[in-house]
Structure 1
Amino acid sequence: MKRSGTADLPLHGGRVPPWLATRMTELGTAISEQIILNYGHSEFLSRLSDPFWFQACGAVMGMDWHSSGITTSVMGALKRGLNPRFSELGLQICGGRGRHSKRTPDELRDFSARTGLDGNDLARTSRLTARIDNNAIADGFQLYLHTFVIHRSGEWSVIQQGMNGATGLARRYHWHSPAVGDFVHDPHTAILGRPRGEILNLVDTRATAAQQALVRIAGQPVEASLDEARRLVMPRHHDVRAEDIDLKRLGAVLAVAHEQDLRDFASLLLVEGLGPRTLQSLALIAEVVHGAPSRFSDPARFSWAHGGKDGHPFPVPLKTYDESLAVLRRSLEAARLGHTEKVDGFRRLDRLTRAVEQDRDPLADFSAALEHERKISPSLNGRTVFDDGRGLDDRRGLGKRGTAKRKAADPQLSLFPAQDRETT
């Protein structure tokens, strides 16, 4: 789909602590494997090109549910997890943030040497997507992140992000090769970012006259076309609120996890003896793997799987996170041996949750659910970035002296706002 949505992504200071970065790599890799196993690599690349799914996936991995750093952190985690598995999965992620983005052409040529694809053509494609979003679309956002995800078949997706320091917002751009018929006529899968004033888009179909004559865009303004697409407006408030979530969908997840009869049946579907909190996380992970695009309209809901590193909606429950990872790993290991019961169980768990949503019409008590999560957090080894010594400094702000030291160590840091300098 083209221009499938827009969203505000507030720039937000912080970092990803090692204890979360490692888990994000493992969970992101496991989710990717589940999708590829069930639906194939093309569907995985298609999911990456959906801005709503991408945001939900980052939230279920424990990242801040609304901020620009979700792009950097998710793509960094996937690159660390998927690239070493190239021989099995056939996927490679090239590029990254800042200076890493400049390595994309060389990484693509290295990829082509192993696959027989045309490396120069891939490098040209990478440059074109970057130049179109950075130069041909005059929307006030300058690119600082470019990632190129490619399968050995030649199918690819691009996720790149620009920032606008004046507005404190980021915009994420998504591409998917099957949707790109012409690089100069509506090539985007989606453009994420709230419009701020007039936007000049020289690759919009209605800009053909401008491309040929180098004059103003002819025809209907771009804002009108953006209004026709789904819009995900990410709020500036950092806490998760009831209005950010579809309470009926959350209510179904909580019912499956915590009502005795449903919990027993859900656990049986996965061929596991699981506690309610782990089932809650696995139900949301199952939806990320098997859910339809319409299910990701409220990405904040997926933060109910593993919380957020800054404590919103609650601290990351490391005990639950590790149990969820263990179940996912066991299901994948069994599938490699030809035993698909556990992998199939995730699909059945997703169906059960949707059936409960339709038949019971549940409505989550947001305040009570949030209070419960925070109450049990200590027993689940709940943790935030502020529990780390350096995290306290991040919360207060580094100050001029600290920032100067970091810039001296890495001059590239001066190009990016705090959130997009996250350690991943």
Structure 2
Amino acid sequence: MGISGVADLPLHAGHVPPWLYSRMVRLSGLIVELLIDERGIKNTIRLFSNPVFFQAFNNIIGMDWDSSGSTTITTAALKEALSKKDTGIKVIGGKGVYALNAPIEIEELGRTWDIDIETLKLMSRLSAKIDNTALQDGYRLYHHAMIIGSDGTWAVIQQGLNEKIKYARRYHIWMENDLLNEPHTGIVGIKGNHALNMVSRTSNDARKTILDLVHQEAIKVVRDWAMVKAMMKGNTTILTYLGKEPPRYYNPYLSGAFKPYTASINEDTIKQARDANDFKDLLLTRGLGPSTMLALALIAELIYRNPIDWNDPANIDPRRYAFALGGKDGSPYPVNREIYDTVIDIMQAIVDMARKDGALTIYLKHLANVTRQLNLPVDLVRPTPP
């Protein structure tokens, strides 16, 4: 997927007015029904794992392109809409405490659908670890939503916040991506200068070294960490006299250019990680958080000379889809209730008729009605040929 540009998502403290949110819920459900009818459950969920599609969906239902609510409100509206419909797709999790309820909600789905609830719970937890521990970009996760299909298909949409600069960042993960090598279909947010990215292919050798480290006696890791701390202070080590000291090169953590966390080694955590079979198991080790991962990464790079990817992977510009029905805060223009209701009525008619005749045929048939009633140029509603 070709991607260019970045976008900033400022934290907005306002609330969506009830009159608008209720319409968002209705329109969300109608759009998803049509998508499922045309594409099926798996491909519909896959669409939402694409950050560009998600941004377009967010703008179509009336959220602002540049708001942190473009994630939280959109997934909440989608969750509510699908909770009222038997479409074969549900949304679990959400913002704050709702994110913590994700395992419970997955178990509830398992009572209705024949799905592997333990695997889904594991993937939910692993996704959170990826964007909070393996990838450290200065944003703390506060939103975790998972879109799940009755066939076991899933995608994760997460959002973190940077309290210092007052911006948010959204992460998209699709189930068929390699979760340890470039797991994201895209990341929406203002691009920073540096990030610790342990799920980059560049960091592959470092991941292997870190796994070897935790398989040793914990005291050896502690000694390596002591050597790194000496290097941070600029102290000369015995390796200098043996001619084996790693070359001094630019490291963003040592230079002070990147310090969202303070690196540290917890000996008890290292002991618990000894049974990890792979990097996924290591990430899921209880107690292994950003500080320990950062310390292990520094050991791998500075002592064992395995390169780490310090490039910030944020890469999506959502602004091109901001002109559907307007936005909550009037960006790019205020939402018109009459036009919004007209769109809902048309979509409802399309869904009702699609149940009889097929969604795509009815969609094409009613494009002229959409154009006439909304007084839009034909080019804005003409479907793009596949």
- Give the TM-score, by structure 2 length: 0.67
Shift of 1:196: 1.9
Correspondence 1:338 to 2:338: no
Residue aligning to 2:180: 184
Residue aligning to 2:292: none
Shift of 1:345: 2.6
Q: Distance in 1 between matches of 2:155 and 2:316?
A: 21
AA paired with 1:338? D
Residue aligning to 2:194: 198
Residue aligning to 2:66: 66
Q: Distance in 1 between matches of 2:39 and 2:75?
A: 21
Residue aligning to 1:142: 140
Residue aligning to 1:386: none
Q: Distance in 2 between matches of 1:33 and 1:5?
A: 31
Residue aligning to 1:314: 333
Q: How does 1:138-177 map to 2 (within 5 A)?
A: 138-177=136-175
Shift of 1:168: 1.4
Q: Deviations over 1:346-401 (max 9, x none)?
A: 5788995279899xxxxxxxxxxxxxxxxxxxxxxxxxxxxxxxxxxxxxxxxxxx
CA contact (8 A) 2:206 2:308 kept: no
AA paired with 1:315? P
Q: Deviations over 1:73-93 (max 9, x none)?
A: 10000000012213xx10111
AA paired with 2:362? K
Residue aligning to 1:397: none
Shift of 1:22: 0.2
Correspondence 1:110 to 2:198: no
Residue aligning to 1:210: 206
Shift of 1:173: 0.4
Task: State the identity %.
Answer: 35
Shift of 1:12: 2.0
CA contact (8 A) 1:2 1:189 kept: no
Shift of 1:177: 1.0
Residue aligning to 1:83: 83
Shift of 1:3: 8.1
Q: Deviations over 1:392-423 (max 9, x none)?
A: xxxxxxxxxxxxxxxxxxxxxxxxxxxxxxxx
Residue aligning to 2:117: 119
Shift of 1:186: 1.9
Residue aligning to 1:28: 28
CA contact (8 A) 2:89 2:147 kept: yes
Aligned counterpart for 1:98 among listed residues 96, 99, 105 = 96
AA paired with 1:343? Y
SS state of the match for residue 194, structure 1? coil
Structure 1 unaligned residues grouped into runs of 5+ = 235-243, 245-297, 359-424
RMSD between superposed Cα atoms in Å: 2.8
Count of aligned pairs: 285
CA contact (8 A) 2:138 2:162 kept: yes
CA contact (8 A) 1:2 1:188 kept: no
Shift of 1:151: 0.5
Residues 126 and 161 of structure 1: CA distance in aligned 2, closer, same or farther (over 3 Å)? same
SS state of the match for residue 33, structure 1? helix
Shift of 1:157: 0.8
CA contact (8 A) 1:307 1:314 kept: yes
Structure 2 unaligned residues grouped into runs of 5+ = 211-296, 372-376
SS state of the match for residue 115, structure 1? coil
CA contact (8 A) 1:195 1:223 kept: no
Q: Distance in 2 between matches of 1:126 and 1:315?
A: 36
Residues 354 and 17 of structure 1: CA distance in aligned 2, closer, same or farther (over 3 Å)? closer
Q: Distance in 2 between matches of 1:95 and 1:133?
A: 16
CA contact (8 A) 1:174 1:189 kept: yes
Q: Distance in 2 between matches of 1:342 and 1:355?
A: 14
CA contact (8 A) 1:5 1:191 kept: no
AA paired with 1:136? A
Q: Distance in 2 between matches of 1:23 and 1:161?
A: 24
Residue aligning to 2:281: none
Q: Distance in 1 between matches of 2:332 and 2:175?
A: 36
Residue aligning to 1:223: 311
Runs ≥4 in structure 1, deviation > 4 angstroms? 1-6, 346-352, 354-358
Shift of 1:314: 2.6
AA paired with 1:198? H
SS state of the match for residue 331, structure 1? helix
Q: How does 1:225-304 map to 2 (within 5 A)?
A: 226=313, 231-232=316-317, 298-300=320-322, 302=323
Q: Deviations over 1:199-219 (max 9, x none)?
A: 001111221222222334644
SS state of the match for residue 112, structure 2? helix
